[in-house]
Chain A
Amino acid sequence: MKKLLTAIAIGCAAIVTFAACSGGDKRTSNSVEELVEKYGYQWEDPTKPILNETGAKELSFNVYSSKNASATDYNEMDIMQTLYEQTNVFVQWENVSESVYGEQKTLKLGNHKGTDAIYHAGLSSNEVLTYGTKRSTLLPISDYLEYMPNFKKILEERPDIKKQITNIDGKIYALPRVEEMGLLQNPNLLFLNKAWTVQAINANAVDNLTEAQVQDGLELTSSQMEQLLTYFKASDMNGNGNPNDERPLNFVWNNWQGNQCDLYGMFGLNDNTEHRIIKDGKVTYTVMDEAFKKATQFLHEWVAKGLIDPVSLEAKQDNYLADGKGTEKYGAFYWWESETVVDHPEHYVCFKPLKGPGGGQTVCVSNNPEISTGEVIFFRGTPNVEVLLTYFDRYYMPEISAQINYGPIGIAFEEEKDENGKLVAKDPPAGKTTDEIRLQNAPLGLCYLSGDVWNTTVEMEPRAKLRLERLNNYATPYYDHDKIKPVPNLQFSEAELNTLLRYQTSIDNYLRQNIINWIRNGLSEEAWQKHLKDAQSNSVGIGAVLEVYQAAYDRYLQDN
């Protein structure tokens, strides 16, 4: 008997383990005419509700989305409630953390039962191609433009956006996020310690520099900079009794901002962390340029002399920001604002790009696009999908976009607009920062904040304004905008994507390994010649990748 009980117990345990859940989609799909008739569906007037009261009760949509750790649940966010009141479209949000989404993404795309759309989808062009064209999982949004008046208008006004998001088969499978503040193109600004510089001038350590010149907008040649940095290195600048804790020039290696790329500008190179840039209509790799060799050899000198502390090559962003606080250690540093890096930003001046030995003076041009493709996707077979599309179309209205991106009126923005009719950012309550308020109350994601919107609807936050002003003074004038362009979002064919995927890791590893090795240990002429040969070869594949990019870029231009 005892044994029988054992057997039953084990059996039960096993069955419980296998218990599975099931359930189907019980919503019914309606044609547009039925929607209009039954639920008062209207899409033309963006100020009126999309559905009537019946629709608000009977129709619902499930949207899957990642959210950052400090954000409130999207179902409870003020802006989402406001949207529900304005539109009568009921959206049930399913929030997961960003890391969970990373793991679940491909699974969700493979089996999307019960999910109508993914917000913050973050699909790469490869994934859009796979799930849009090849496997027909994604809804071709371009077939439904009629129901999306705002989005349609954007596409008409901005053919460049349309081109960047239109797949190679001519359809659009994902809604983009557009935030054009002009901040991402040049990710670095150079700051210099005022007091230290004056000290160096008084010690006669620098040629042709007077104390009066040490203010924002200062221009230095590389040799002046070298003299300054050498002085910083040798002396106890912060007066704490230790002459070795000063770090002359600082940056974060290969970071998306505050990186080393501006230094290559001394040799006329518009480098970026991908080392890929469009020059005179040709996609090029900066690492294949003779100037890159000279710049590397020059920078190696600085590393060898300790003017660039190797910690800049190894530390990550967090360490970098932490080290800037407390005792002043940084002589000069790259970042996009001084406030986050050091305790006393007023001790630092922001200056123009360094002038190289050969007279080169330009900046990093990054490939960070201000238009992110693949932000929201919809699945085929979603019942009443037109309503959902109209709902998300509302996100592109300027005032909604601003609230989506920064937080709702009343929390992130003042209730009352200023004299120009623009939304003004509200001061955060004591003890909280603007960033905290934003991360907590704004879903981010789908929005359209173009240059126009900043002029008419939303007042830019003061930090962004300051940075923009600095960029306009010290970065953007220093390169030829007609000749040098960042690589835009390009659309690739399947064969092209396969080539890119195949070489991606090898190029990445090859460049990462070699560039840092050259910087640290020097670059001989022999090594350079070998590099030129190796990089083109099939094992690394820069040549093949360039061809693909060039072809895609040519297509991009052709459509103009």
Chain B
Amino acid sequence: MENRLLQTEQNALPDAVGAGALAENSEVQSKKVPFGTKFKNSYFARNFKRNWSYLLFLIPAVVVTFIFAYIPMYGLLIAFQDFVPGDSIWTGVWIGFDNFQEFFGNYVFWELMGNTFLLCILGFIIGFPLPIIVAVMLHTTKNKKVSKFLQTVFNGPHFISLVVLVGMLQLFFGRYGLVNNIIESVGGARYSFFLEEGAFRPMYILSSNWQDFGWSSIIYLAALSGVEQSQHEAAQIDGASRFQRVLHVDLPAIMPIISVMLIMSIGGLMGVGYEKVLLMQTDGNIGVSEIIATYVYKQGIQGTRAGYATAVGLFNSIINLLLLIIANTISKKFSENSLF
């Protein structure tokens, strides 16, 4: 069964690649499908008829997305309920917007918003351009062996699990860790990286970026490899330096990808996960390290206030959605690129 599936896929693939150019397929066209005439002649119907077998490949993706992303959305209803795990969602105690009101009225509200926003925006400012710069640098490296080697090295940290990463941070930046030993040996005083509020954000953001810059640069590298060599040659004949070629050939070529990535990262801006923050949280830095995600975790999982936690999470998602729409609209206005 599996083998046959593989086989058919392999056979179908070359067809699929050339699908746009493939004008006719005798087997399909010879059959008369009894559709309404209007529909039959429409552009959509003709396309559908021609490509229905390729469209079949979409079914698993659509089904999976529907089942795992759309159906569970009914769970959001509990944001408007006084919900206890095990209650039926349809017959729960409806309390309207009480959960939201409690959250907005809570004294932690502005602190949470501020902490989440700052952590994300700072991470974004450093984390967004970094992979682009790295990708361009790797791409323009003359020695391809060195370039490949560096790329592999940069990808390595991506595979470290969060728990291990935070463990490493504690080893390196702990009170008696490597960094403090170096600080002391050059005459400085030991510094409690995990107790000082000021150290939390840099440590969090830099370690995250260290972990992911190589991985995120892959997509830009792929885009860069699609830049036509002839353009570079033309620029070289015109006397462009290597930096000028990056600026005027490479960057414009990958601009569509950059703007799509930009829109997507803005959309996920407030969507930082709780795991790493929670692992790095100490009594000393809780003032800056309590973010919406950790708050939801504490309320919902530890405090068993599922309804309230869902309301807070939903509020966070709505902000994300708004950011995404705003970013997309702006991008549409000022450039040709947009997601939708």
Select which of B108, B174, B176 is within 8 A of A509 by beta carbon. B108
Residue of B nearest to A3 (CB): B53
Residue of A nearest to B171 (CB): A319
A488 within 8 A of B: no
Query: Which of A74-82, A130-138, A292-300, A543-551 lies at the binding interface?
Result: A130-138
Select which of A14, A127, A319, A513 is within 8 A of B174 by beta carbon. A319
B286 touches A509 (CB 8 A): yes
**In the complex where A314-B174, A540-B107 touch, is A2 in contact with B8 (Cβ < 8 A)?**
yes
**In the complex where A9-B1, A10-B57 touch, is A504 in contact with B303 (Cβ < 8 A)?**
yes
**In the complex where A137-B86, A505-B295 touch, is A2 in contact with B11 (Cβ < 8 A)?**
yes
- Chain B residues with Cβ below 8 Å from A505 are 295, 298-299, 303
Interface residues of B in 238-281 (CB under 8 A from A): none
Interface string of A16-48 (1 = CB under 8 A from B): 000000000000000000000000000000000
Interface string of A494-526 (1 = CB under 8 A from B): 000000011011100100110111001000000
A13 touches B184 (CB 8 A): no
A315 touches B174 (CB 8 A): yes
B108 touches A506 (CB 8 A): yes
CB proximity of B303 to chain A, nearest CB, Å: 5
B336 within 8 A of A: no
A70 within 8 A of B: no
B86 touches A313 (CB 8 A): no
B56 touches A7 (CB 8 A): yes
Give the distance in Å from the alpha carbon of A124 to the alpha carbon of B305 in the complex: 13
B60 touches A10 (CB 8 A): yes
A309 touches B175 (CB 8 A): yes
- Chain A residues with Cβ below 8 Å from B304 are 106, 124, 126-127, 501
Interface residues of B in 62-112 (CB under 8 A from A): 63, 84-87, 102, 106-108
B122 within 8 A of A: no
Residue of B nearest to A110 (CB): B86
B4 within 8 A of A: yes
A516 touches B284 (CB 8 A): yes
Residue with the greatest number of chain B CB neighbours at <10 A, chosen from A131, A314, A512, A515: A314
- Chain A residues with Cβ below 8 Å from B8 are 2, 5-6, 9
CB proximity of B198 to chain A, nearest CB, Å: 13
Give the distance in Å from the alpha carbon of A124 to the alpha carbon of B301 in the complex: 13
B84 touches A130 (CB 8 A): yes
- Chain A residues with Cβ below 8 Å from B85 are 106-107, 109-110
Give the distance in Å from the alpha carbon of A5 to the alpha carbon of B12 in the complex: 11
A13 touches B5 (CB 8 A): yes
Give the distance in Å from the alpha carbon of A366 to the alpha carbon of B194 in the complex: 27
- Chain B residues with Cβ below 8 Å from A13 are 5, 60
- Chain B residues with Cβ below 8 Å from A313 are 192, 195, 283-284
CB proximity of A495 to chain B, nearest CB, Å: 12
Give the distance in Å from the alpha carbon of A126 to the alpha carbon of B174 in the complex: 38
B305 touches A501 (CB 8 A): yes
Select which of B174, B184, B295, B303 is within 8 A of A311 by beta carbon. B174
Give the distance in Å from the alpha carbon of A501 to the alpha carbon of B176 in the complex: 38
Give the distance in Å from the alpha carbon of A512 to the alpha carbon of B197 in the complex: 13
Give the distance in Å from the alpha carbon of A313 to the alpha carbon of B285 in the complex: 12
Give the distance in Å from the alpha carbon of A512 to the alpha carbon of B295 in the complex: 15
CB proximity of B209 to chain A, nearest CB, Å: 24
**In the complex where A2-B8, A309-B175, A539-B107 touch, is A14 in contact with B59 (Cβ < 8 A)?**
yes
Give the distance in Å from the alpha carbon of A520 to the alpha carbon of B86 in the complex: 44
A109 touches B176 (CB 8 A): no
CB proximity of A336 to chain B, nearest CB, Å: 22
Select which of B9, B107, B287 is within 8 A of A506 by beta carbon. B107
Residue of A nearest to B284 (CB): A516
- Chain A residues with Cβ below 8 Å from B295 are 505
Residue of A nearest to B170 (CB): A319
CB proximity of A532 to chain B, nearest CB, Å: 16
B86 touches A506 (CB 8 A): no
CB proximity of B89 to chain A, nearest CB, Å: 11
CB proximity of A313 to chain B, nearest CB, Å: 6
A430 within 8 A of B: no
Residue of B nearest to A537 (CB): B107
A9 touches B84 (CB 8 A): no
- Chain B residues with Cβ below 8 Å from A309 are 175
Give the distance in Å from the alpha carbon of A81 to the alpha carbon of B106 in the complex: 54
- Chain B residues with Cβ below 8 Å from A2 are 8, 11-12
B282 within 8 A of A: yes
Interface string of A247-263 (1 = CB under 8 A from B): 00000011000000000
- Chain B residues with Cβ below 8 Å from A315 are 174-175
- Chain B residues with Cβ below 8 Å from A127 are 304
CB proximity of B169 to chain A, nearest CB, Å: 12
A314 touches B86 (CB 8 A): no
B108 touches A131 (CB 8 A): no
Give the distance in Å from the alpha carbon of A512 to the alpha carbon of B174 in the complex: 20
A12 touches B283 (CB 8 A): no
A6 touches B53 (CB 8 A): yes
B290 within 8 A of A: yes
Residue of A nearest to B306 (CB): A106
Give the distance in Å from the alpha carbon of A505 to the alpha carbon of B86 in the complex: 23
**In the complex where A135-B84, A244-B184 touch, is A9 in contact with B195 (Cβ < 8 A)?**
no
Give the distance in Å from the alpha carbon of A540 to the alpha carbon of B111 in the complex: 14
Residue with the greatest number of chain B CB neighbours at <10 A, chosen from A6, A323, A506, A520: A6
A383 within 8 A of B: no
B184 touches A513 (CB 8 A): no
Interface string of A270-307 (1 = CB under 8 A from B): 00000000000000000000000000000000000000
Residue of B nearest to A516 (CB): B283
- Chain A residues with Cβ below 8 Å from B303 are 501, 504-505
Give the distance in Å from the alpha carbon of A186 to the alpha carbon of B91 in the complex: 47
Give the distance in Å from the alpha carbon of A313 to the alpha carbon of B175 in the complex: 10
Residue of A nearest to B175 (CB): A311
A310 within 8 A of B: yes
Give the distance in Å from the alpha carbon of A330 to the alpha carbon of B52 in the complex: 75
A6 touches B174 (CB 8 A): no
A520 touches B305 (CB 8 A): no
Give the distance in Å from the alpha carbon of A254 to the alpha carbon of B282 in the complex: 11
**In the complex where A314-B195, A512-B283 touch, is A106 in contact with B11 (Cβ < 8 A)?**
no
B86 touches A135 (CB 8 A): yes
A14 touches B60 (CB 8 A): yes
- Chain A residues with Cβ below 8 Å from B27 are 3
CB proximity of A22 to chain B, nearest CB, Å: 19
CB proximity of B304 to chain A, nearest CB, Å: 6
Chain B residues proximal to chain A, CB less than 8 Å: 1, 4-5, 8-9, 11-12, 27, 53, 56-57, 59-60, 63, 84-87, 102, 106-108, 170, 174-176, 184, 190, 192, 194-195, 282-284, 286-287, 290, 295, 298-299, 303-305
Chain A residues proximal to chain B, CB less than 8 Å: 2-3, 5-7, 9-10, 12-14, 106-107, 109-111, 124, 126-127, 130-131, 134-135, 137, 244, 253-254, 309-311, 313-315, 319, 323, 501-502, 504-506, 509, 512-513, 515-517, 520, 539-540
A-B contact pairs, 18 of them (CB 8 A): A3-B56, A5-B4, A5-B8, A10-B5, A10-B60, A106-B85, A110-B86, A124-B304, A126-B304, A134-B84, A135-B84, A311-B192, A313-B195, A319-B174, A505-B299, A516-B284, A539-B106, A540-B107
The 10 closest A-B pairs by CB, nearest first: A539-B107, A110-B86, A311-B175, A106-B85, A3-B53, A516-B283, A9-B5, A512-B283, A314-B194, A6-B8
